[in-house]
A and B are shown apart, each in its own frame.
Chain A
Amino acid sequence: MSDEGMTVENRVRGKREPMAMISRHGGLAALAVLLIFNLLVTPNFLQAQTLAVNVSQVATIALVAVGMTLVIATGGIDLSVGAVMALSGAMAPIIFTSEFAQAYPVPGLAAAFLLPLVAAFCCGMFNGALVALLGVQPIIATLIFFISGRGVAQVLTNGNLQTFTNPSFSYIGTARLLGIPVQGWLVALIAAVIWYVIRYTASGRYLLAVGGNERAARMAGVPVTRVKIMAYATCSVLSGLSGLIVVAINSASDAARIGNLMELDAIAAAVVGGAVLSGGRAPIWGAILGAVVIQLVKYTLLANGVADEIALIAKAGIIVAAVYAQQMRKG
């Protein structure tokens, strides 16, 4: 999947943004180093199972990273993604284990997917409204749900770990299609759609114009407020979906842990992928690449018995390298 993704990335970005070459190569170089290292060192790296595990894990980061890329493209940031994941992840089991869902399995299952996403959408609308209508700084506006979202999720579940057996729901976390976990295909599909929207629709143009020069965009009649709100809303919905997948993978929902520190992974993935925090660029496939790199670092260290704490330091190193590549590009 990632190979295919990068080919498209290559073509599009190469044509549109020749200046992005270096930073894109930075991400690709990191990927190459990781792959070579793993081939040489990690046992059983070239196994279908390894691919499946990694795709399964990367999907959750990638979804959020794509959403984060949209928000960063407007010049903003969304700290609430992890908390939104927890919220939607906590809601789903409550819904499909409810009496209603036991009585009517099909609408119950539909509600278990839809209601958490609606809740996530509302969080995003709230974030976007604060930023776009009230002019609150994005980092502060999204801090509200960063703090309270997980709290609400824990209140909903009384702080309990919810475990369940529900094959229909778990499908999006555990099923495979052509040997690849189904959520991998889902991410590819969503990324392709969003990439198309950015590249070929007026909304995508507007997004980049708002991030590129907000005043000029407003003067050209761009609906700046709406564009920003939609970016935050999309990011939240993708985070909510990611939360559902995490719950489905584990057949368990722990509001305290779902999406913990995801905001940092997502921002890191977006930046490694070539997003610029000042806005104006939305490299969707870059975000996927960034997510793959982040996931591979985690996996590499885990598979070789390195402690989690060290993994955090390694992630920081990657962000430093990505930012360095961006600075070089500017200079």
Chain B
Amino acid sequence: MQQLVSMRQVRKSFAGVPALRDASLEIVPGEVHALIGQNGAGKSTLIKCLTGVHRRDGGQVSLSGREFAADSPRDAQDSGIATIYQELNLVPLRSVTENIVMGAEPKNRLGLIDWPAAHRRAGEMLSRFGIDIDVRQRLGRYPAAIQQLVAIARAVSLDARLVIMDEPTSSLDDREIETLFSVVRNLRAEGISVLYVSHFLDELFQICDRVTVMRDGCTVAVREIARTDKLGLIADMLGRDRNEISASGMTALDGPRGEVGAEILSLGHVATGRSLRDASLTVRQGEIVGLGGLLGSGRTETARAIFGLDSLKHGEITLPGGGGAPRSPADAIAAGIGFVAEDRKAEGIVPDMSVRENLTLALLPRLRHAGGIDTRREREIVDHFIRALGIKLASADQPIRQLSGGNQQKVLLARWLATRPDLLILDEPTRGVDVGAKREIQAIIRDFVADGGAVLLISSEFEEIVEGADRVIVMQEGRSVSELPGEGLTESALIAAIAHVPDEVPA
């Protein structure tokens, strides 16, 4: 069968850092094709190279057998590639009809919009998907799932041959997901291809035909969904041998655990929403507790709950010092917690402020002196951390945005170390930093723990967790499901625990 989309050996770098090295993707007409991979594997970059958001550096892309290079998302849309983003690009304040026919409104003889025809067309469009709603109502009145379906209906009305869905189910409930799936099956029946990006592997087995797996900017596997299983996909995503994963099993689960210090943090059945349903764990002084799990398993949400960023729906948290769940980051910081967030740019640095100001931002309440800031002590502290952490910079007064990723990360670590916290939460502390800086950052973390600090470590790099953590809490789909001792823990044992499905014991 003729390929609808064929991308081969696609390469793309950003500022010299390769995001795609050898990526390929082939989609045949009328198939539902999944694209999976860990964070940073290159999924979204690959999609953006197809939809004209990015221009590829190299490789071949063809659409229906013809060479294809979209200059803009609009261009891709005109060629029949529609993208349904996580944040829908619809107009919630306008009617469903307007959202569907926007840009292609039926006109009457006077050149005005023929509303009866427009409503009829919108209604027909939706009823093809088995949806019967009042198309005259504002789109914003309908739940997220309906809005998503309207976006799909709009895409189809523009004669899309390929509909790209990026995490379409992340904001839907179980019933809405079923509706979405039936629409996807309808699309397939009409010969329209769907590229389906999701972190929820179970979904793929329900609706996908084939799956392309990416890792580190390369396409590493293309599988028929019927001929693989969850364990196989995880093995592909992580680059491990499936036999190794299943053979090592869960035998280490009940191993001994060394007593460290006093317990300083405990979570009991904490839930904050759909992404964090039931997390329980404890952290004690002088230990690194790893949070293991796939993307979307609730690791970051656990950290956010502890730091007072998301309010609890259920469960309880006991902080260092004995306090209950914090209501704000300021509460959490006062209780002795620091949090190096995953997204350094969005939640870490204040780009235009100096390194010095960034480093002491969390410390300011303790630097107050006679109505101002004790600048002498501030400089001492900043100089100390620049030396101790080996931060490379021209001057402590230069804007932090001018530093490399690794050095920015060290400044953020220093921000929290300077507050002398009892507990540091580190979410992907070494992501996007070079190997040298990574080793240094890991050494800094070790030193902090050796001095009696406690660390809750989130990392998608199993090596980092296995080497670093004294214990690992394994999370799946918003729940903490098991605990592994760090001693003697191997990467494959960790992966097996993460991939372990209670009701589907791997062969």
* A residues in contact (CB < 8 Å) with B: 15-16, 196, 200-202, 205-206, 208-209, 212-213, 215-223, 280-281
Note all chain B residues with C-beta closer than 8 A to A215. Answer: 346-347
What is the CA–CA distance of A191 and B375 in the complex, to the nearest angstrom? Answer: 22
Q: Which of B350, B367, B375 contacts A213 (CB 8 A)?
A: B350
Q: Which residues of A contact B328 (CB under 8 A)?
A: 218, 221
* A221-B362 Cα distance, complex, nearest whole Å: 6
Bound form: Cα–Cα A15–B351 in Å: 17
Min CB distance, B425 to chain A, in Å? 11
Which listed residue, A205, A206, A216, A281, touches B349 by the CB 8 Å rule? A216
| Chain A, interface SS category | helix
- Chain A residues positioned under 8 Å from B372 (CB to CB): 196, 200-201
Task: Return the chain B residue nearest A196 by Cβ.
Answer: B372
A202 partner, pick from B347, B354, B365, beta carbons under 8 A: B365
Residue of A15, A219, A281 most packed against chain B (CB within 10 A): A219
Bound form: Cα–Cα A206–B360 in Å: 11
CB distance from A14 to the nearest CB of B (A): 12
Task: Check if B347 sits within 8 Å of A216, measured CB to CB.
Answer: yes
Known contacts A219-B348, A280-B352: does B397 contact A205 (CB below 8 Å)?
Answer: no
Q: Check if A212 sits within 8 Å of B351, measured CB to CB.
A: yes
CB distance from A330 to the nearest CB of B (A): 12
State A217–B348 Cα separation when bound (angstroms).
8
The answer to the question of B189 belonging to the interface, with a C-beta cut-off of 8 Å to chain A, is no
> With a CB–CB cut-off of 8 A, which chain A residues contact B346?
213, 215-216
Q: Does B339 contact A (CB under 8 A)?
A: yes
Residues of A within 8 A of B368 (CB): 202
The answer to whether A209 touches B349, judged by C-beta atoms less than 8 angstroms apart, is no
Other-chain residue from B333, B365, B397, B415 in contact with A16 (beta carbon distance below 8 A): B397
* Residues in B neighbouring A280, C-beta threshold 8 A: 350, 352-353
A205 to B361 Cα, complex, angstroms: 8
Total interface residues on B, CB under 8 Å, equals 32
Instruction: List B residues 326-379 near A (Cβ within 8 Å).
Output: 328-330, 332-334, 339, 341, 346-354, 357, 361-362, 364-365, 367-368, 371-373, 375
Nearest A-chain residue to B332, judged by Cβ: A221
Q: A residues within 8 A CB of B354?
A: 16
CB distance B373 to A209 under 8 Å? no
CA gap between A215 and B345 in the complex, in Å = 10
Q: Contact at A221–B330, with CB atoms within 8 Å?
A: yes
Which residue of A196, A200, A209 contacts B361 across the interface (Cβ within 8 Å)? A209
A202-B368, A280-B352 given as contacts; is B373 within 8 A of A220 (CB)?
Answer: no
| B353-A220 in contact (CB<8A) | no
Contact A220 B351 (CB under 8 A): no
Bound form: Cα–Cα A196–B372 in Å: 9
Contact across chains for A206 and B350 when beta carbons are under 8 A apart? no
With the chains together, A220 CA to B357 CA distance in Å?
12
What chain A residues lie within 8 Å of B351 (beta carbons)?
A: 212-213
Closest beta carbon of chain A to B179's beta carbon, Å: 31
A213 touching B329, Cβ below 8 Å:
no
B344 to chain A minimum Cβ distance, whole angstroms, is 9
Interchain Cβ contacts under 8 Å between A and B, 5 examples? A15-B397, A202-B365, A216-B347, A216-B348, A217-B350
Chain A residue with minimal CB distance to B340?
A: A219
Contact across chains for B341 and A219 when beta carbons are under 8 A apart: yes
Distance in angstroms between the alpha carbons of A15 and B399 in the assembled complex: 12
* Bound-complex Cα distance A316 to B365 (A): 43
- A209–B362 touching, CB < 8 Å: no
B352→A202 contact, CB < 8 A: no
A219 & B339 in contact (Cβ 8 Å cutoff): yes
The answer to whether residues A208 and B353 also contact, given A202-B368, A218-B329, A220-B415 and a CB cut-off of 8 A, is yes
Cβ–Cβ contact A213 & B364, under 8 A? no
| Cα of A221 to Cα of B330 in the assembled complex, Å | 4
Q: Which of B406-455 contact A (CB under 8 A)?
A: 415
Given the known interface contacts A202-B364, A202-B365, A206-B364, the answer about A219 and B373 at a Cβ–Cβ threshold of 8 Å is: no
CB neighbours (8 Å) of A200 from chain B are 372-373, 375
Beta-carbon contact of B373 and A205 below 8 Å: yes
- B350, A201: Cβ atoms closer than 8 Å: no
**Are the CB atoms of A281 and B348 closer together than 8 Å?**
no
Identity of the chain B residue whose Cβ is nearest the Cβ of A218 in the assembled complex: B329
Residues in B with CB closer than 8 Å to A15 are: 397
Contacts of B352 in A (CB 8 A): 212, 280-281
Minimum CB–CB distance from A248 to chain B (whole Å) comes to 31
- Complex CA gap A212/B341 in Å reads 17
Q: Does the CB pair A201–B339 fall under 8 Å?
A: no
Q: How far is the CA of A205 from the CA of B378 in the complex (A)?
A: 13
**CB of A69, distance to nearest CB on chain B (Å):** 16
**Contact assessment for A205 and B329 in the assembled complex, using a CB-CB cutoff below 8 Å:** no
Contacts of B373 in A (CB 8 A): 200-202, 205
Contacts A217-B350, A280-B350, A280-B352 known; list 11 others, CB within 8 Å.
A196-B372, A200-B372, A201-B373, A208-B357, A209-B361, A212-B353, A213-B350, A215-B346, A219-B329, A220-B329, A222-B361
Residue of A nearest to B366 (CB): A202
* C-alpha gap A202/B361 in the complex (Å): 9
Cα distance, A15 to B398, chains bound together (Å):
10
Min CB distance, B380 to chain A, in Å?
A: 17
**For residue A216, which residues in chain B have a CB less than 8 angstroms away from its CB?**
346-350
Query: Which residues on the B side are within 8 Å of A201 (C-beta)?
Result: 371-373
Q: Which of B334, B339, B357 contacts A205 (CB 8 A)?
A: B357
The answer to whether B361 touches A220 (Cβ under 8 A) is yes
Looking at A16, A196, A206, the one whose CB has the most chain B CB atoms below 10 A away is A16
Q: Which residue of B lies closest to A226 (CB)?
A: B330
Instruction: Output the least CB separation between B319 and chain A (Å).
Output: 14
Measured between beta carbons, the chain B residues less than 8 angstroms from A206 are: 364
Asked if A202 meets B397 with Cβ closer than 8 Å, knowing A212-B353, A219-B341, A280-B350, the reply is no
